Every structure is written in C-alpha cells, then in structure tokens.
Amino acid sequence: MEQIVILDFGSQYTQVIARRVRECNVYSTLVRFDTPASEIAAMNPKGLILSGGPSSVYAKEAPLPDKAIFKLGIPVLGICYGVQLLAHYLGGKVERGDKREYGKGTLAVADPQCALFKGLSRELQVWNSHGDKLTRLPKDFVVVGTTENSDYAAIEDSRRRFFGIQFHPEVVHTPRGREIIANFVHGVCGCGRDWTMRNYVEQATEEIRARVGKDRVILGLSGGVDSSVAAALIHRAIGDQLTCIFVNNGLLRAREADVVREVFGRNFKIRLQYEDATPLFLRKLKGVSDPERKRKVIGKAFVDVFQAATKRAGKARFLAQGTLYPDVIESVPIAGNPAALIKSHHNVGGLPKNMKFELLEPLRALFKDEVRQLGVELGLPKEIVQRQPFPGPGLAVRCLGPVSGPKLEILRKADAIVVEEMKGADLYYKTWQAFAVLLPVRSVGVQGDERTYEYTAALRVVDSQDGMTADWVHVPYALLEKISTRITNEVRGINRVVLDITSKPPGTIEWE
C-alpha cells in the first residue's frame, strides 16, 4: 500500500495534513518527530512531510528529527517549522523575523514550473503562522515563492525532490492548499489514488483475521458510530468468534436498545449478549445531583457490569475498542513541546489491571468521517452511521438534578419528538446535535381547562465541526412551534419549552 509519512512536530494542524493527504486517496501515517530513519524506511513511504510546530529550531528543547531522514532518497515537503528544519539541517539559516506573519498573506509564485504549483495561478492566498523565517538558503535550493515578509516563502531542490513552504497549505484559509498537497503527493511522489474505504475493508479484514487467528473477541457495543462500525468490521472478518456485549443502563434514548438488537442481532447475525442493568444504574444514581458525581457513579457501575458480563461470555483473548486515529495521536505526548498532550482518551492507555485481554483496535488508523464512510461500505443503516454524538453517561446529564425512572421517561419522550421533527424537516443530519434537556424547574401552566405545575424542557440545537466549538442553529420558527406544541401536548409532565441560544464558548454543548 502506498503511503505518505508525516513527522509530527506538535502543530495544531498536523492531523489536518494527514486528512488532506487521505483526501487525495492516498494513505497517510503520522509518526513522532524523533522516529528513527530506519523505522521510516521500513514503512516504505513514497514521500515524507515535516509538519509545523510551535518551537524554534534553535530552542533548547526543540523537537528535532533523525538527520538520516534526508538520506532516504524520497521526496520531502517541509511545512512552516518543517521548512525551517530543512534549512537548519542542510546548511541554510533561520532567524527571528523582524515582523511575525500570522493570518492571511499573498504568495507570489516565482517559478510556475515548480511541481508544487502546477496548474495554479501566479498569486495565491495563503495562511501564515510563524515568527522565525529563512534568511539563507541551503545549498542547491532555489526560491520558488515569496510573501510580503519572506523572500524564501517557498523553496525547492528539484534534484533531491525537497520542497519547503513557510505557510500552511492544509488549512481552509489557504484556498488552493489542497491542490498544493495533491501536487506533492501525486506529481512529486508519484502516488496513485488507491486509498478507498472499499480497499480498506479488505485490508483491515485480512489484518484482523491474521492477528486474531482462532481466538475469540469481546466488544462493548454502545450503539454509537465507533463501536458499531468496529463490530461490523470485526464480524466480517471472524464471524461468530466475536461476541458483542450491549449494556442497557436505563439512560438510553427512545428505542435505542431495540435498534441495536434489531440491527446487530437480527440483521447482521452478530452474537449479541444483552445486559439490562437499568435497575442497578437507577439505584446507584438515586439522589445524585452533581454532574461529575453522576459520571463517576455511571462509569464505575458500567465497569462492574461489563466485567461480570465478560465472564459470562466465556473465555476470550481480545477486547475490541472503537479507538480512532485522533484518540491515538492526541494521547502521545511530544517531549519538550508546548502542544504536547492535548488530552488523554478513555480508549487509549490500556485496560483495568484485572481485565486480562489484549486490545484490538481496528479503527485506530481512521478519522471520524472515514469511520462513517466505512460504516456505509459495511452496510450499516444511516441511523447508526450518521448518528449524532451522544454523551457517555447518556440521558443522566440531560436530566438535570436527581435522576429517576419517571423523569427519564419524560425526557425520553420529549427527545424523541425533537429527533423526529428535525428528521422530518431534513435538518437532523445537517446539524451536530439536536436534543431536549429536562430542567429541574417547574412552572404553572394551563392545559385544557386544568391548571398544571410541570417541568420545563430546553431545546438545544447546535452545529460544529469537531465539538470543540459550536454555534446554536437558527431553527425555523415554524419548526420550533411544532416541536413545542407536540411536546406540551404529548408528553405528560412538561408544560413549557424554552430554546437554548448559547454558543460554545461560553457555554458547553451539553448542560452538565
């Protein structure tokens, strides 16, 4: 399989570079900046990309690569910090710029024959984010592009097929950046366009079969996108050697347990072990109001239930998880780098000590949207593949205050109406999340000829790219009216609906 290897020097955009390469239908692999050249050579890449990063090449703890990477005989593209590394290692000079370049800039292409800029205009809008800059070219390099504050914004050594650019082609603020990356991947490195989900299915299936052999695998199936796609892929590879354990904690949305059992048990014929632990979870949550306390109670109860379930499932060697590529990348710290560790993820870092399994993570090479594509390729229904994000603690964090069975049922019915009407208006799959929240607030109302004193429901509809920030969605008034009317008419226990118009920040997407 053809691939491009990307050395990560801590840029916030490193994952985006990997994404852009894959959008060229070429597989990309991210590795630490200090990965030995011998290991990179063993991966047999068609080309190498050096990412940006927040350091200066002269800083005491600057992340520096194995110098032997420049003797591998493959094309190299240095981006921002990456081009400074090229200069630093190959005899050029990097200095602190008189003026820092942040934001939009204009690149004047000095050599339109340069392979990076094939088919592009002589002036390109680019996105800069750097303080240092090249002040002397390495031997055999020539200038192929300049910006307002940099005479060496793009450089090339055509003989060795080394390129360096001071701007970021991977971000959307460089409108023709994807074409620059495509020119490097296809034109310079000679990669084809063979990275497709269909090919990945075949590749991953063989890898799973080879690793698992005749052993058995257990997977905790939540009904979410990641675990569902992992289950479908593993089942395709090893069939009944896989057992999925689905724990109903009583905090699921309407019909969720039925959908999971229908899709995976009846349609896919996956061996599904259904654990209804609703009474246990509700008992543990009784009287608990603090959201963090709720999460801890739910987390511990889940581990206890799941561990007991694995014993009933019989002996297995592997525990499968839906770990994704961003989870893996963000959980690997880069020493001495301010952008080192973004987060630690619950799927990365091993298992509880008393769970004697080997991890099987068949999605760890994929990004979220690629997982959705894989789900479609595997035949999963849209309601699972395009499912909106759902909090791990379920409706417990959308039912403010103490949780109880009756309150959860009220919330479940209201939330089902929100989802149904958003789908009916063709908006559900166009938004990041749309849901109802049950507030611990009662108010007076009049329903029919009777005075009521019932709960208030909040409607939350937001759009986002990655969940890190979010904007509230301007839902049409007619749809808001329909949702409100249906909830107050059909859900006994709610007599008032309000709309949450808070973005993130300052608010969060979930209320707890």
Which residue numbers are catalytic? Answer: 80, 168, 170
Token digits of residue 144: 């192929």
Whether 412 and 254 have beta carbons less than 8 Å apart is answered as yes
Instruction: Give the strand pairing for 3-8 and 162-165.
Output: unpaired
The residues with which 451 forms a beta bridge, in sequence order, are 446
| DSSP code of residue 102 | E
- 10 Å CB burial of residue 261 (0-12, 13-18, 19+) is middle
Could you identify the residue written with the tokens 């009583």? 250
Task: Residue 404: count other Cβ atoms within 10 Å of its Cβ.
Answer: 14
The residues with which 494 forms a beta bridge, in sequence order, are 455
Task: Residue 112: count other Cβ atoms within 10 Å of its Cβ.
Answer: 12
Q: What is the DSSP string of 234-259?
A: HHHHHGGGEEEEEEE-S-PPTTHHHH
Instruction: Report the distance separating Cα 393 and Cα 458, nearest Å.
Output: 19
Token digits of residue 465: 């790219």
Nearest CA to 69 among 92, 91, 50?
A: 50
Could you identify the residue written with the tokens 């205050």? 401
